[in-house]
Amino acid sequence: MTQPGRKVPFGEHVSDFVFREPCNDYLLVEIEAPYRELFRNNGHQRHELTHAIGQIDDWLCYIQDNKAKVESELGLHGISATPRMLVVIGRSATLTERNRRKLAVMQGRHRGLSIMTYDELIDRARANFERHFGPLSLRAQNLNIYYYRQDLAEAT
């Protein structure tokens, strides 16, 4: 059985991460390097972005062709033929408005696909953390911050 968040072999191709979501489906994640650029100067997508999306297409084909095997042998019980997919690649500073528009079109063509830069991933993680624990406005060297939450203290 596959452990959550681990690499999973979909035939000849291996995912970087697979997460089970609360809605009883899965999120398939492909990670590329943060230094990879998504687009050339002429606006065409770079090979690394094409490759990442191709990887996800390969996983989907395998899942659709081998759904019962994926559920039983890989332990991905209840996986749909079209799970959500995430590509994390590059940095936001390299994207123009034209590039962002192209990303939106690409994501629209691939149902359930999100393409996110590392900067966007960090921003979302920070927002999620702050939603639970409060603002992260303190910045200092050699500083440890401890959060006290009444509901957690009462649970122990």
Query: Is 135 contained in some domain?
Result: yes
How many domains is the chain partitioned into structurally?
Answer: 1
Minimum mean pLDDT range among 90-94, 117-121, 127-131? 127-131
Residue 1, pLDDT score: 44
Separation CA 149–CA 105 (nearest Å): 42
Residue 140, pLDDT score: 57
Quote the Cα angle for 102-8-127, to 5°: 50
Query: Is 3 contained in some domain?
Result: no
The answer to whether residues 112 and 84 touch, using CB atoms and an 8 Å cutoff, is yes
Average pLDDT of every residue of the chain: 86
Task: Print the domain residue range for 14.
Answer: 9-155
The answer to whether residues 59 and 1 touch, using CB atoms and an 8 Å cutoff, is no
Model-level pTM? 0.78
pLDDT higher at 128 or 62: 62
Residue type, 6: R
**pLDDT tens, residue by residue, 4-41:** 567 889 999 999 999 998 877 899 999 999 999 999 99
Q: Going by C-beta distance under 8 Å and a sequence separation of 6 or more, which residues neighbour residue 8? A: 2, 14, 15, 18, 74, 76
